[in-house]
Chain A
Amino acid sequence: MKPVFKRPKSLYDVPFHYCPGCHHGIAHRLIAEAIDALGIQERVVAVASIGCSVFLYDYFAVDVLEAPHGRAPAVGTGIKRARPESIVFTYQGDGDLAAIGLAETIHAANRGEQLAVFFINNTIYGMTGGQMAPTTLPGQKTTTTPLGRRVIGEGAPLKMAEMIAALKPPAFVARVAVNNSKSIFQAKKAVQQAFRIQVEGKGYAFVEFLSACPTNWKMTPCEANRHVSEALIPEFPLGIFKGDL
C-alpha cells in the first residue's frame, strides 16, 4: 500500500491550536508540502507575524523568526540579504500585512526583494477578537463596525494582490482559496511556484489565501466555508495577476 495522503515532513507532528474549521491548517500544510516537494527544508527560514499564526515556530520544522507586528517583509529582507543562500518566506494575516505592515509590504514588493510572502486574508482581525480589518467586506459586521462596514466612512476592502501586481518588480502574484478540493490543488501549485521563483532567483512572490474564520464570523465551519465561495470570492476574484505557473 502506498500513502495517498501523509503529513508533510516539514510540519512537526503536533496538533494545531487553531479553531475548528480554520483554514490556517490547510495553508500551513500546502506550504510544508511545497517545501518538501522542492527539497529545500534545510535552507528555508520562515518569518512569522503577529496574529493567530504567531506560533508558526511550533509547527514548521524549519528555522523561524518572529517579526514585530507588520514588519515580517522587513525582517525577511534582512535575512535574505545577510544569507542569500536561504529561502525566506513570510506568513502574515490581513491585520498584519494590510494594516500595520502595509508600508513594509508595498516597499519590499517594490524593491523586488527575494521573498515569498503568504498573505492569509480572512477579512477580520482573528486573534484580537473580530475587529474590522482593511479587508473587511462592505456591510460585514465586526465588533468595531456593529452596523456593518460602510464604504464611505470606513473604507472599501483593500485588494492586496491587485495592488502588488500593479508594481513592476514582483515576479509572481496570485490569489487562491482553500475552500474546496479544486481550489486547494490550484493553491498548491501557486505556493510551489512562489518558492520555485525564489529558488531560481527571479524575485518577489506574493500569494494571497482567502481564508475562513468561523469563530469571528460567528458561523459554523461549514457555513464559513460556504461564505468564502459566496461572499469572499466575488469581492476578491481568484487568479494569477502576475507571472505564470
Chain B
Amino acid sequence: MPKLVLYKDRCKGCALCTLACPKHLLEISTEINRQGYYVISLAAPGKCNGCGLCAEMCPDMAIEVWR
C-alpha cells in the first residue's frame, strides 16, 4: 500500500495539494501546527494510490510519497 508521509510542521495550509489530488483525498483539518496554520490531512488513506501529484504541487515539500 502506498505511504504518504505528512510533515505537518512544514505545512502552511495553502491547500494547493487538495487541488492537485486527482481523487480529492486531501483536506484541510482543524489541527493547528507549530507555525499556526491549519494543516492538511488524508481523508481515506486506503484510497490513495501514491501518484505523488500532491507532493509535486506542495511548495513547502511537506509531503513525501512512497510506493
Chain A interface residues toward B at CB < 8 A: 1-7, 11, 15-16, 18-26, 29, 180-181, 184-185, 214, 220-222, 225
Contacts and interface: CB of A to CB of B under 8 A. Distances in A.
Nearest to B10: A15
A5 B63 contact: yes
Interface in B28-67: 35, 37, 50-53, 55-61, 63-67
B50 to A, nearest CB: 6
Interface of B: 2-3, 9-10, 12-16, 18-20, 35, 37, 50-53, 55-61, 63-67
Contacts of B3: 1
Given A20-B37, A181-B20, A2 B60 contact: no
Contacts of B59: 16, 18, 21-26
26 contacts: A1-B3, A1-B66, A1-B67, A3-B65, A4-B50, A4-B52, A5-B55, A7-B61, A15-B10, A15-B35, A18-B59, A19-B12, A20-B13, A21-B15, A21-B16, A21-B59, A25-B59, A25-B60, A26-B59, A29-B61, A180-B20, A181-B53, A185-B56, A221-B15, A222-B15, A222-B19
A16 B66 contact: no
Nearest to A181: B53
A24 B65 CA distance: 21
| Highest count of chain B CB atoms <10 Å: which of A2, A7, A15 | A15
Contacts of B60: 15-16, 18, 25
